[in-house]
Structure 1
Amino acid sequence: MVTGYYTAAQIRDAEAATGDLLSGGVLMARAANAVAAQVSAELRERTGGVYGRRVLLVVGAGNNGGDALYAGVRLRRRGVRVDALLLDPDHAHGAGLAAFRSAGGRVSATVPDGLDIAVDAVVGLGGRGPLRPPAAEVFARIADTGAAVLSVDLPSGVDPDTGVVNTPSVRADVCVTFGAPRLAHLLAAPACGRVVVADIGIPVPAAQVTSPSDAEVAALWPLPGPGDDKYSQGVVGVIAGSAVFPGAAVLATSAAVAATSGMTRYVGPAVDEVLAKSPEVVAASTVADAGRVQAWAIGPGIGTGEQAHDLLADVLGTDLPTLVDADGLTVLARAPELLADRTAPTLLTPHAGEFARLAGAEPGPDRLSAVRGLAERLGVTVLLKGRITLVADPDGRVSGNDAESSWAATAGAGDVLTGIAGSLLAAGLPARSAGVCAARVHARAAALASGGAPISAAALRDAVAPTLRRLLDLRE
């Protein structure tokens, strides 16, 4: 199923809508139960038990600290030795602190020896900016102990809406959040660790930012049916490569062949190289001679001169879905009028440098706002590449993919993504779905090819088919 991600304001509004559940402390009690349950689960997994283990609550002001203090009460009842380090004693949650002390919890000014888990309850959802020096010193000492860190809601020092990871900030092994994930759980996924969402009974609206599960990607992936032929499954035309960069054409076309069961056509000067790798590709020297296609993928290695401009103008002048990448984006940055009056699905796939050429500025730390802004301004779908890939439609809806590794950061990997996403456009997937599904398979293929070591783009490409076989096992 799709996971939705929410702003801090949306979560606060959802909590306020519960009325007495919020004002009467029911939501806090449920949150505390969830934190205590997850701490117990982590202790069992990491140490083999719960009783007698040592937990430190690092408590800031407000309700985030209250969640942790009440969780400490529940952990004390299970025989856990629980200390609370109060960063702002005068503003700690009063009722929670009293209950904690009554349960035998100990207030400490230092990080204890023999620590198993530290609970980060410094700022949570309302936090902005880096950790203050006292908190930073505490977490530096915790890091020296080797104890795991569980953050309540979000790692302190991580912005909830932009995902900016400030310096210093907490890096969590696991986050326990309530009701629904926050934007930062996607945008700053490496800092958040594993995210556990506890249902505490708050209603959330339909999400504008989502990420598909592997099962949903599998369900969306086009497969041949009894009535299909090579044309009905989608024909993608790839315009890529040059005499100088024939490899871009080889990678893009062979990735397209691996991704779907339709047909791949190729236009460009690297015909011999393309056919040597993928003899099933149908090659032509010009767009006019290419034959029927359902979508175009253009850009990798085509150059940035007048000929490339003319090719891009020809393709964007059609009413066919089109993906533009690499050199095509550089050309488009100089000639954005090529997108004027275009109504067919259009997917741009820039990395940060190409994004800057298109937008006139780097994406910056707020990548979500940046990609939304460019998609709205150009009236097309924009896929901003990165460890967290974001795919934005002009209406503000965004799909994200956490690659969970950076093995795809290798020369030519973008050409592979072009082929995969282009083939999905040809099969009829909407641009945003094609982009995020391609990004997921691309990331999974990189991880499979790597096995923990650096890889080439060719190795990534070769892992697309086995990755799809694994993924499609999830299809119902």
Structure 2
Amino acid sequence: MRTLSSDEVRAADVNSVFWGVGTRILMENAGAGVARVVKDLTSSKPCKVAIIAGSGGKAGDSFVAARHLASDDYEVHVYLVSRVVRHEDAKANLEILKNQHNVVLQDYKPGVSLDYDVVIDGLLGIGVKGAPKDLYADAIRTINSSRGIKVAIDIPSGLDPDTGEVPGDVVRADVTVTLVAPKPGLLKAPEVLGKLVIVNIGLPPNALRVVGPGDVEVWFRKKDVKARKGEGGRVLVIAGSKEYVGAPWLTALGAWVAGADLVYLAAPEYV
């Protein structure tokens, strides 16, 4: 089964824009996919749904899911753990929700009781590492205490998407709706993901198959001017022939210009 690391997802998002499919479209498709899974879980019978949302792209996915569920007469309550939504696409979808009369928006407060048929985890996505803190940790514990069906978007909040490590509180989902492909950490932590459902969000095939601007942005990050020698990595160039004596030097120079701190050249004496 193919997996996508957090870096690969970030690269694919940028590449998708390059190929003409913007992140707003991807978010719409992701949220709609989550809503479809919830409808399948409830046999399309409208019921009470709680969404616990953070401030990033995962929150945006949950806002879209809320809108789609509400349009099918589900009773949707959205609990905002953060009053400041940082992701621009998520912010736009939150503004749309504010104009929906059949969606209840409220701040998350410790001690709230989630007496709902379905609880959606829209808290922490693949860009967050380390143990959840403060309200986020409390919200995760509240989700876990709910008797409703717990649905995690992409990954259960608190799980490292790449390593599968759980450094603190983690959502113990009944269903994980992962986007595009499973993240490596999901396959290493079956005890927290529940049933795994993969949702296609309309990512252009070339966003994953062809090296694009996203790959350059992710894999060739801008070097920190305060970086120490060695942090940029070391490169060994093994090259050289009598026909192309300049090739080894050009290759070594290219590695250095690309950001390598130390470049070693192994070449025949005549080079």
Superposition TM-score tier, normalisation by shorter sequence: 0.5 to 0.7
Cα 1:138–1:28 change in 2 (3 A) is: same
Which residue of structure 2 lines up, in the alignment, with residue 12 of structure 1? Answer: 10
Residue 466 (structure 1) aligns with? none
1:73 to 56, 67, 87: 67
Cα gap change, 1:113 to 1:27, in 2 (>3 Å) = closer
Matches within 5 A, 1:312-327: none
Identity of aligned residues (%): 27
Aligned residue for 2:120?
Answer: 119
Q: Over residues 56-114 of structure 1, what are the superposed CA-to-partner deviations in whole Å (9 max), with x where a residue is unaligned?
A: 11111121101100110000011111111111112263211121222231112354553
Do 2:115 and 2:147's aligned partners in 1 also have CA atoms closer than 8 Å? no
CA–CA distance in structure 2, aligned partners of residues 72 and 205 of structure 1: 32
Q: How many Å separate the matches in 2 of 1:144 and 1:8?
A: 28
Match of 1:98 among 69, 83, 95: 95
Deviation at 1:175, TM superposition (A): 1.0
Q: Conserved in 1, the CA contact under 8 Å of 2:119 and 2:148?
A: yes
Cα separation, 1, equivalents of 2:15 and 2:131? 30
Q: Give the structure with higher Rg (CA).
A: 1
- TM-superposed CA distance for 1:50, in Å, is 2.5
For residue 33 of structure 1, what is the aligned residue in structure 2? 32
Could you give the per-residue CA deviations for residues 299-355 of structure 1, whole angstroms, max 9, x where no partner exists?
xxxxxxxxxxxxxxxxxxxxxxxxxxxxxxxxxxxxxxxxxxxxxxxxxxxxxxxxx
Q: Contact 1:5 / 1:183 at 8 angstroms: preserved in 2?
A: yes
1:112 and 1:94 map into 2 onto residues whose CA distance is: 26
In structure 2, the CA distance between the partners of 1:172 and 1:72, relative to structure 1 (3 Å rule), is same
Checking the alignment, whether the CA contact within 8 Å between 1:32 and 1:68 is kept in structure 2 is: yes
State whether residues 143 and 171 of structure 2, in contact with CA within 8 Å, keep that contact through their aligned partners in structure 1.
Answer: no
Per-residue CA shift, 1:200-230, capped at 9, x if unaligned?
2323359xxxxxxxxxxxxxxxxxxxxxxxx
Query: What is the rounded CA distance, in whole Å, between the counterparts of 1:16 and 1:73 in structure 2?
Result: 26
Higher helix share: 1
Rounded to whole Å, the distance in 2 between the matches of 1:114 and 1:168 is: 21
Report how far residue 116 of structure 1 moved. 1.0
Q: Secondary structure at the match of 1:125?
A: coil
Any idea what SS the aligned residue of 2:177 has? strand
Query: CA separation in 1, counterparts of 2:26 and 2:120?
Result: 19
Provide, for residues 136-155 of structure 1, a one-character-per-residue CA deviation record: whole Å limited to 9, x for no partner: 22232333331221111101
Q: Deviations over 1:147-174 (max 9, x none)?
A: 2211111011100111102221111111
**Alpha-carbon distance in structure 1 between the residues aligned to 2:13 and 2:85:** 22
Contact 1:58 1:121 in 2 (8 A): yes
Does residue 177 of structure 2 align to residue 183 of structure 1? no
Higher relative contact order (CA 8 A, sep 6+): 2
Task: Specify every segment of 5 or more residues in structure 2 that has no aligned partner in the other structure, as ranges.
Answer: 211-271
1:129, distance to aligned residue in structure 2 (A): 1.2
Which secondary structure does the structure 1 equivalent of 2:126 belong to? Answer: helix
TM-score with structure 1 length normalisation? 0.40
Residues 116 and 15 of structure 1: CA distance in aligned 2, closer, same or farther (over 3 Å): same
Structure 1 residue 27: Cα displacement? 0.7
Aligned equivalents of 2:38 and 2:167: distance in 1?
Answer: 25
Partner of 2:267: none
Structure 1 segments unaligned to the other structure (5+ residues): 207-476
**1:235-284 deviation digits (Å, cap 9, x = unpaired):** xxxxxxxxxxxxxxxxxxxxxxxxxxxxxxxxxxxxxxxxxxxxxxxxxx
Distance (whole Å) between structure 2 residues aligned to residue 167 and residue 113 of structure 1: 21
**What TM-score, normalized by structure 2, do the two folds share?**
0.68
Aligned twin of 1:54 = 48
The CA RMSD measured in Å over matched residues stands at 1.9
Contact 1:70/1:99 (CA < 8 Å) preserved in 2? no
Inter-partner Cα distance in structure 2 for 1:22 and 1:50: 32
**1:21-420 paired onto structure 2 within 5 Å:** 21-23=21-23, 25-44=24-43, 49-51=44-46, 53-91=47-85, 93-104=90-101, 105-108=103-106, 109-110=108-109, 111=112, 114-202=115-203, 203=205, 204-205=208-209
